[in-house]
Amino acid sequence: MPKLKTKYVCTECGCESPKWMGKCPECNQWNTFIEEVDTKTVAASSASLINAAKPQKMKDISMEEEMRLSTGLGELDRVLGGGIVKGSLVLVGGDPGIGKSTLLLQLSNNVAKNGLKVLYVSGEESSKQIKIRAQRMNLDSESIYLLSENNMEYIQQNIQDINPDVLIMDSIQTVYNPSILSAPGSVSQVRDATGNLMRIAKGDGITVFIVGHVTKAGAIAGPRVLEHMVDTVLYFEGDSHMSYRILRAVKNRFGSTNELGIFEMADTGLTEVINPSQMLLSGRMKGVSGSAIIASIEGTRPMLVEVQALLSYTNFGVPRRAATGADYNRVVLLMAVLEKRVGLQLQNYDSYVNVVGGIRLNDPSSDLGIIAAIASSYKDKEIDDSAVIIGEVGLAGEVRAVNFIEKRINEAYKLGFTKCIIPYNNFKNLKGSANIKVYGVKSVEEALDIII
């Protein structure tokens, strides 16, 4: 028998090397090369995946409006850009036990009720285990087919026999091709399985959902090419010890990548949170210092979020800085603005900033709210409970304009807030905001005089 040749493949980007290397030359990651058997069977079979096509002029290509199918979950439809697109390939990632399988099982039941066939393939659970979970969630659709299989060749044969409208693969790291000698979950196996599923989705018009495991760093396990091949990448986030879950799109060829959906985990499955602002502010304590309410925009949705800050005097030379839910470097920058432009002496205080509800703030409009919370804790004076704070802060201490100001103000009004502090440039162009008292500020000092 001929001697089997081996190669080393990077688990992050798929870079191949004839010998082991400590650092990948492509993605610059350390200790990511693993040994795999170099086989030519994949290259021989890949030619069958290429469809012969001829170039067309752009003006001759007919445009048809893409047909979207509702998942029955409004929050999921929002994140997908309006619903499921026929023939799309969607990757869903998240920590173990976060609710990925539960979400896709509910999706299967809702889609099957519309008369579509769903094939749910599980490489981790038996069909009886899935049936038990479905009974607990009161799911009883007759158009859902369950298959417990890891062999990709058998899976493809069942797909041809059933010809489903929606295919769910849970999970991609457990599927293997027997013609490839590496173990399931390796770079070669994941790449081959995803390539076959992409051919099925695009060639047969089947919508495919893939469940992907995540690493300790929170990224999708396997090569980066996996995320490049799919149409949509969804991350399911949240603390497994809390009931709320956040679904975020980090890639979407059919919609915005800034949309965010919020669910609550219950005994019967995931339920939608229609008003996330009310949920995030439900446990708020009034009349305490260091608490500020900001209005953030996630995609097209305004959300009111509570930002808390705690400053405590320290006798050590280097004070501690910590931030949860906000960018650490941004918080340190804002504290420097407070010291230089406002005159607050923060160098002897430990500071802790927390965004309540597990939300991660990336919107620059939260700057003024973070500054107000820090200043409130420093002076031990509470902020007006009826005020919402909006504004981006520059290094000169100026308050810069933000986008979607009308949506933010309307959201504050709906939840009963009576005051809103916004940048002056937004204030002078504001229209139709008579329902709530609006203050336009030009600097951080001016804002703090009104807030505290």
In angstroms, the CA 153 to CA 177 distance is 7
The per-residue pLDDT for 308 is 95
CB atoms within 10 A of CB 287: 7
Q: Are residues 319 and 403 in the same domain?
A: yes
- Same domain as 306, residue 261: no
Q: Are residues 123 and 34 in the same domain?
A: no
pLDDT category at 44 given cuts 50, 70, 90 is very low
Dig out the tokens for 198 from the structure: 């992409």
Average pLDDT over residues 80-95: 90
CA 79/CA 280 separation, integer angstroms: 19
Closest CA to 152 of 119, 114, 178: 178
| Bridge partners for 296 per DSSP | 303
Distance set, CA 29 to CA 12, 188, 220, 227 (Å):
8, 19, 15, 17
User: What is the C-alpha separation between 88 and 208, in angstroms, rounded?
Assistant: 6
Distance (Å, whole) CA 165 – CA 143: 10
The answer to whether residue 51 is domain-embedded is no
Average the pLDDT over 235-264 and give the result.
82
370, pLDDT greater than 80:
yes
CA–CA dist 150, 20 (Å, integer): 29
Whether residue 104 is contained in a domain is answered as yes
Query: What are the pLDDT digits (tens) for 415-446?
Result: 989 999 999 999 988 876 557 899 999 999 99
**Whether residue 358 has pLDDT greater than 60:** yes
Please indicate, yes or no, whether residues 73 and 10 belong to a single structural domain of this protein.
Answer: no
**433 annotated ligand-binding residue:** no
Query: For the residues 47-53, what does the mean pLDDT come to?
Result: 50
pLDDT at 343 over 50: yes
199 and 128 in a single domain? The answer is yes
CB 126 within 8 A of CB 133: no
55-64, 99-108, 272-281: the lowest-pLDDT one: 55-64
Last residue in a domain, options 209, 244, 273: 273
Tell me, yes or no, whether 27 and 92 share the same domain.
Answer: no
Pairwise CA distance, residues 366 & 359, whole Å: 12
Number of separate domains in the chain: 3
DSSP result, 332-366: HHHHHHIIIII----TTEEEEEEETTS-----GGG
What pLDDT shows up at residue 167?
95
CA distance between the termini of the chain: 81
In this structure, what are the phi and psi dihedrals at residue 56, rounded to the nearest 5 degrees? -125, 150
Beta bridge partners of 146: 120
- β-bridge partners, 392: 400
Q: Are residues 337 and 188 located together in one domain of the fold?
A: no
263/285 same-domain check = no
**Rounded to the nearest 5°, which phi and psi values hold at 18?**
-70, -15
Residues 130 and 202 in one domain: yes
Last residue of a domain, one of 235, 257, 273: 273
Residue 2 pLDDT:
54
Residue 281 has pLDDT above 90, yes or no: no
| Structure confidence at residue 47 (pLDDT) | 44
Q: Are residues 246 and 287 in the same domain?
A: no
User: Per-residue pLDDT for 210 more than 50?
Assistant: yes
**DSSP code, position 65:** P
Query: Is there a domain that residue 46 lies in?
Result: no
Domain boundary, last residue among 273, 292, 319: 273
Residue 410, pLDDT > 50, answer yes
302 is in an annotated binding site: no
Contact between residue 92 and residue 248 where contact means Cβ atoms under 8 Å apart: no
- 98 annotated ligand binder: yes
Q: Please tell me the distance from the alpha carbon of residue 402 to that of residue 400, in angstroms, as a whole number.
A: 7
What's the whole-number mean pLDDT along residues 153-172? 92
Using 50, 70 and 90 to split pLDDT, how confident is the model at 15? confident
Residue 360 pLDDT class (50, 70, 90 cuts) = confident
Structure token digits, residue 73: 């979950």
Average pLDDT over residues 6-32: 84
Q: Calculate the CA 123 to chain-centre distance.
A: 24
94 is in an annotated binding site: yes
The CATH number linked to 346 is 3.30.230.10
Residue 102, CB half-sphere, CA atoms under 13 Å: how many?
20
pLDDT at 332: 95
Rounded CA gap, 320 and 348, in Å?
A: 9
- Confidence (pLDDT) at 432: 65
Residue 41, pLDDT above cutoff 60: no
Average pLDDT over residues 362-373: 94
pLDDT(219) > 70 = no
Percent pLDDT > 70 in the chain is 91
Of 34-43, 88-97, 154-163, 262-271, which range is least confident? 34-43
**Among 386, 307, 383, which residue's Cα sits nearest to residue 352?**
307
Same domain flag for 268 and 286: no
Instruction: Report how far apart, in Å, the C-alpha atoms of 227 and of each of 89, 96, 221 are.
Output: 10, 19, 10
Mind giving me the DSSP string for 267-332? TTEEEE-S-HHHHHTTTPPPS-BTEEEEEEEETTEEEEEEEEEEEEE--SSS--EEEESS-HHHHH
Which CATH number fits the domain that encloses residue 124? 3.40.50.300
Say whether pLDDT at 38 is over 90: no
409 is in an annotated binding site: no
Residue 49 falls inside a structural domain: no
User: Is 47 inside any structural domain?
Assistant: no
Would you say residue 158 lies in a domain?
yes
**Angle at the Cα of 243 (from 241 to 245), degrees rounded to 5?**
100
Q: At what angle do helices 367-379 and 444-451 cross, to 10 degrees?
A: 60
In a domain, 102, yes or no: yes
Closest CA to 270 of 131, 429, 138: 138
Range of the domain at 337: 279-451
Q: What is the pLDDT of residues 319-336, one digit of tens each?
A: 999 999 999 999 999 999
- Is 100 annotated in some ligand binding site? yes
> What's the mean per-residue pLDDT of the chain?
86
Q: Are residues 285 and 266 in the same domain?
A: no
**Bigger pLDDT: 366 vs 283:** 366
Selected residue with higher pLDDT from 45 and 406:
406
The answer to the question of residue 101 being in a domain is yes
Report the pLDDT value the prediction gives residue 286, as an integer from 0 to 100.
83
Query: Does the pLDDT of residue 228 top 80, yes or no?
Result: yes
* 49 — pLDDT class (breaks 50, 70, 90): very low
CA dist., res. 357 & res. 275, Å (int) = 13
